[in-house]
């Protein structure tokens, strides 16, 4: 059965991009602000200048790193039983991570989030059927910045059972995250059944910061998944051309793969990305431009060429409110994601160039995700679905409503949206003539009221609380917010 | 512990809710075989089951195809149990009798059929005249079945006008005061229903059932 898929690069073009990236890596090199990593790169045959901190990585080392990279990354739920697998053409939708602002669903006000807000986002994401990965979506303002990264992990772990996309803002971030995971699944299972994946964002062009490099090497050492997120801004920190931005980003990803795989072979790494268009009119980095979809689809093709899982920030809108623009940008992003087989489509619920999370957008994005996942399955053709016999039985002028086949297949064949309105005009009026945002708001209230997140076993919750308390104590923080 | 009778009635209800006409037929025969009051089986199992499903449908928890299958299963049970009820000198008490059809020139079946099924599911006796029904056929049906309500469906702006003609023909035949007349279909409106002298209008199938309940109160 032919499934709807798109390719934005030909096989020859993929090779061309690959070669150009290798050429840049070996001739221009990447700047790595991390002593241990530079020494590592030198020891395996890179030409390293310790003053400029630039490492020129030869082609054969990149090839070795690619050989060592796993083809499948498995992300567990925190129960250590359920999991999702990033590989092939599977697409999983992921809430956007680390927003500094929150759009209050009750007032539509954009403000700094508090811990309670993040707990609510986690609970809603736990419920949503087409949102498969929760992230540490918000940076709460009611804890000191120094522990905000780990505090987010703590809140989300408590309030959501799904895999968590997260990241560390501190050098201690990853080792502490490992402690948080260990308190839930046991130390011995952290690398076997990790329920978090960590963002590692190179700084374009061609730079790996100390923090990001440390985070990536830590992930490799602990055997926990990382996704490398190049963030080209067309015409700002990367060439204005899409192909040029792709070549540069690909070189950054390959450099990361080398660091990870030579830190520890077999480290689970995802080829991710958050390309943006640098709008020359307003000096803004925009995530909702259609070209972001083209670059993301190209990243996915490159990841498949390298036989490693892919991800991209495709669900984010540049809109300042939940409106037609936000729905259109999410919808195009979602469709491009499933059609190009991006394994993690990131950014559900996000507005404002990745700076804001809106619950209203998140629940709407879930219906968008469901619709596009259905589209990607294509038309199911077999003896049953062709239904020749059923058509014969109904006959000209007949009706299919009373046919058993209809009962059996209608629900199987369609994605039934939770929020999009399909009623008659009169029914809609009777129910209060509500627009989508109002329906979404009521749905959030219903989920928060009725959904129960599977609680952590008491002893495990105690251990988790203890772990968080110890992390806070390291910084002399005694009081943490109630959630 | 449930008695054998209660257990059988529960199963019958479940089969009706599941829209399993074969199972309903089988169990209805068993009702007669072991001598359970067939009227009780109709009321406690078939009608109750389908009404419960109707509630679910209104709340968006069941599909229209489930409702129709349940109504069909109920009818399959009724056809068996009715005979026994009559034999025992009783009769099924319907909530009312409705003749329904899509007007002449219009062959749209789906809306009218859904309304018919939902009315059956709500406990009404429904005589479905089908599609492309001329005035004369409605008039004959009034004489033959003596219904409480006539329901007319039209899905096109051109055939909608037939609703007025049919009401006029019923008046001409001196039958207008014998029945209530309701109209529906995509192009129709409440104003249109008033203009042509109908007794009621409903925008959709669920509302049609509510309308019938109101008119026959």
- Express each pLDDT in A117-165 by its tens digit: 999 999 999 999 999 999 999 999 999 999 999 999 999 999 999 999 9
Measure the CA angle with vertex B84, ends B81 and B85; round to 5°: 85
Beta strand ranges found along A125-231 (DSSP E): 134-135, 164-166, 196-200, 207-208, 226-228
Is this complex's ipTM strictly greater than 0.90?
A: no
Cβ-based interface (< 8 Å): residues of B facing A: 19, 63-66, 68-69, 72, 107, 109-110, 113-114, 117, 131, 203-204, 206-207
How does DSSP classify residue A454?
P
Rounded CA gap, A468 and A108, in Å? 32
Look at B203 and A397 and tell me if their CB atoms are within 8 Å: no
- The domain segmentation of chain B, as residue ranges, is 4-87, 97-215
Token pair 């963002």: residue: A199
**What is the distance in angstroms between the CA of the first residue and the CA of the last residue of chain A?**
49
Q: Which residues contact A315 (CB under 8 A, 6 or more apart)?
A: A93, A94, A96, A330, A333, A334, A337, A345, A346, A347, A348, A349, A350, A365, A369
What is the pLDDT at residue A68? 97
Maximum pairwise Cα distance, chain A? 82
Q: Residue A264's pLDDT is what?
A: 98
SS3 A289: coil
Q: Tally Cβ neighbours within 10 Å of residue A81.
A: 8
Token pair of A105, please? 């669903």
For residue B66, the chain A residues in CB contact (below 8 A) are 407
The pLDDT value recorded for residue B46 is 92
- Which CATH topology does B4-87 take? 1.10.1240
Sheet holding A269-271, edge to edge: A134-135, A164-166, A196-200, A226-228, A269-271
How many Å lie between the alpha carbon of B149 and the closest alpha carbon of chain A? 23
Chain B CB contacts of A397 below 8 Å? 107, 109, 131
User: Which pLDDT value is given to residue A1?
Assistant: 65
CA distance B19 to chain A (A): 9
Whether residues A426 and B203 touch (CB distance < 8 A) is answered with yes
The closest alpha carbon to A400, from B66, B110, B128, belongs to B110
Low-confidence ranges of chain A (pLDDT < 70): 1
Predicted local confidence at residue A399, as pLDDT: 84
pLDDT of res. B1 = 52
- Number of A/B CB contacts below 8 angstroms equals 36
Rounded to whole angstroms, the Cα distance separating A53 from A51 reads 5
Q: Which residues contact A292 (CB under 8 A, 6 or more apart)?
A: A275, A276, A277, A286, A313, A314, A333
Nearest CA in chain B to A407: B65
Q: What is the pLDDT along chain B (217 residues), one digit of tens a residue?
A: 567 888 999 999 999 999 999 999 999 999 999 989 999 999 899 989 998 998 888 888 888 889 889 988 999 999 999 889 988 888 888 899 999 999 999 888 888 989 998 998 888 999 999 999 999 999 999 999 999 999 999 999 889 999 999 999 999 999 999 999 999 998 999 999 999 999 999 988 889 999 999 999 8
Residues B31, B8 contacting (CB under 8 angstroms): yes
pTM comes to 0.90
Report the alpha-carbon distance of residue A202 to residue A434 in Å, rounded.
44
The residues with which A101 forms a beta bridge, in sequence order, are A356
Of B68, B107, B203, the CB nearest to A402: B68
**Backbone phi, then psi, for A142, in 5-degree steps?**
-100, 15
> Which three-class secondary structure state does DSSP give residue B100?
strand
CB contact under 8 A, B203 and A404: no
> Is it true that domain B97-215 has CATH number 3.30.390.50?
no
Asked if residue A212 lies in contact with residue A259, where contact means CB atoms within 8 angstroms, the answer is: no
Residues in chain A: 483
Whole-number Cα distances in Å, A457 to A78, A407, A450: 12, 41, 21
Residue B4 near residue B34 (C-beta atoms within 8 A): yes
What pLDDT was estimated at residue A446? 97
Complete edge-to-edge strand list for the sheet that includes strand A311-313: A92-95, A344-348, A311-313
Tell which residue, A455, A439, A287, A294, has the closest CA to residue A355: A287
Q: Which residue in chain A has the smallest CA separation from B71?
A: A402
Nearest CA-CA distance, residue A434 and chain B, Å: 17
Q: How many CB atoms lie within 10 A of CB A324?
A: 9
Distance from CA of A403 to the nearest CA of B (A): 8
**Coil, helix or strand at residue A232:** coil
Site from A390, A398, A399, A401 to mutate, B interface, most B CB atoms within 10 angstroms: A401
Residue written as token pair 């109750």:
B48
In Å, how far is A396's CA from the nearest CA of chain B?
12
Rounded to whole angstroms, the Cα distance separating B156 from B163 reads: 11
Chosen from B19, B57, B65 to mutate, greatest number of chain A CBs within 10 A = B65
């Amino acid at each position: 059965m032919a499934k709807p898929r798109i390719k934005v690069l030909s096989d020859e073009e993929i090779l061309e991009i690959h070669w150009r990236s290798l050429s840049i890596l070996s001739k221009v090199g990447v700047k790595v602000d991390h002593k241990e990593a530079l020494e590592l790169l030198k020891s395996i045959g890179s030409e390293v200048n310790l003053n400029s901190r630039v490492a020129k990585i030869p082609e054969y080392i990149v090839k070795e790193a690619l050989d060592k990279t796993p083809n499948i990354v498995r992300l567990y739920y925190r129960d250590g039983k359920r999991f999702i697998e990033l590989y092939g053409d599977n697409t999983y939708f992921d809430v956007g991570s680390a927003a500094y602002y929150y759009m209050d669903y009750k007032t539509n006000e954009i403000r700094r989030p508090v811990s309670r807000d993040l707990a609510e986002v986690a609970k809603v994401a736990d419920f949503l059927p087409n949102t498969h990965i929760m992230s540490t979506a918000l940076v709460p303002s009611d804890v000191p910045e120094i522990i905000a990264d780990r505090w987010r992990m703590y809140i989300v772990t408590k309030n959501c059972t799904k895999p968590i996309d997260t990241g560390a803002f501190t050098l201690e971030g990853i080792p502490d995250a490992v402690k948080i995971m260990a308190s839930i699944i046991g130390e011995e299972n952290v690398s076997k059944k990790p329920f978090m994946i960590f963002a590692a964002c190179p700084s374009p062009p061609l730079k790996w910061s100390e923090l990001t490099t440390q985070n990536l090497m830590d992930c490799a050492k602990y055997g926990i998944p990382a996704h490398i997120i190049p963030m080209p801004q067309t015409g700002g920190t990367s060439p204005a051309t899409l192909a040029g931005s792709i070549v540069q980003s690909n070189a950054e990803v390959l450099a990361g793969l080398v660091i990870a795989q030579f830190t520890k072979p077999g480290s689970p790494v995802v080829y991710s990305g958050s390309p943006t268009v640098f709008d020359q009119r307003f000096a803004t980095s925009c995530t909702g431009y259609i070209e972001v979809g083209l670059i993301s689809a190209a990243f996915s093709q490159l990841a498949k060429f390298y036989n490693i899982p892919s991800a991209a920030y495709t669900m984010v809108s540049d809109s300042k409110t939940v409106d037609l623009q936000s729905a259109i940008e999410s919808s195009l992003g979602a469709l491009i994601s499933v059609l190009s087989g991006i394994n993690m489509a990131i950014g559900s619920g996000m507005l404002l160039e990745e700076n804001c999370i809106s619950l209203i957008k998140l629940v709407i994005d879930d219906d968008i995700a469901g619709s596009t996942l259905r589209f990607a399955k294509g038309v199911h053709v077999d003896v049953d679905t062709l239904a020749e016999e059923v058509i014969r039985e109904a006959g000209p002028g007949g009706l299919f409503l009373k046919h058993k086949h209809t009962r059996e297949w209608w629900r199987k064949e369609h994605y039934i949206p939770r929020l999009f309105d399909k009623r008659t005009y009169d029914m809609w009026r009777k129910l209060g003539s509500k627009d989508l945002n109002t329906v979404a708001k009521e749905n959030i209230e219903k989920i928060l009221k009725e959904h129960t997140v599977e609680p952590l076993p008491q002893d495990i919750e105690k251990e988790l609380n203890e772990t968080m308390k110890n992390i806070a104590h390291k910084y002399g923080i005694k009081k943490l917010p109630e959630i | 512990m449930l008695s054998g009778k209660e257990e059988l009635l529960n199963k019958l209800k479940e089969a009706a809710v599941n829209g399993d006409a074969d199972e309903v037929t089988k169990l209805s025969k068993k009702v007669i075989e072991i001598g359970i009051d067939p009227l009780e089986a109709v009321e406690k199992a078939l009608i109750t089951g389908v009404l419960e499903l109707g509630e679910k449908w209104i709340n968006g928890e069941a599909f229209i195809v489930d409702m129709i299958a349940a109504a069909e299963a109920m009818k399959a049970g009724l056809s068996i149990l009715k005979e026994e009820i009559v034999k025992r000198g009783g009769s099924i008490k319907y909530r009312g009798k409705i003749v329904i059809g899509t007007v002449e020139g219009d062959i749209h079946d789906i809306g009218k059929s859904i309304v018919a099924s939902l009315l059956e599911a709500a406990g009404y006796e429904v005589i479905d005249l089908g599609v492309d029904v001329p005035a004369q056929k409605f008039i004959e049906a009034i004489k033959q079945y003596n219904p409480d309500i006539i329901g007319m469906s039209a899905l096109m702006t051109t055939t909608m006008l037939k609703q007025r003609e049919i009401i006029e023909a019923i008046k001409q035949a001196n039958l207008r005061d014998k029945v209530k007349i309701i109209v529906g279909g995509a192009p129709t409106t409440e104003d249109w229903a008033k203009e042509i002298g109908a007794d009621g209008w409903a925008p959709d199938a669920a509302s049609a059932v509510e309308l019938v309940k109101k008119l026959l109160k």
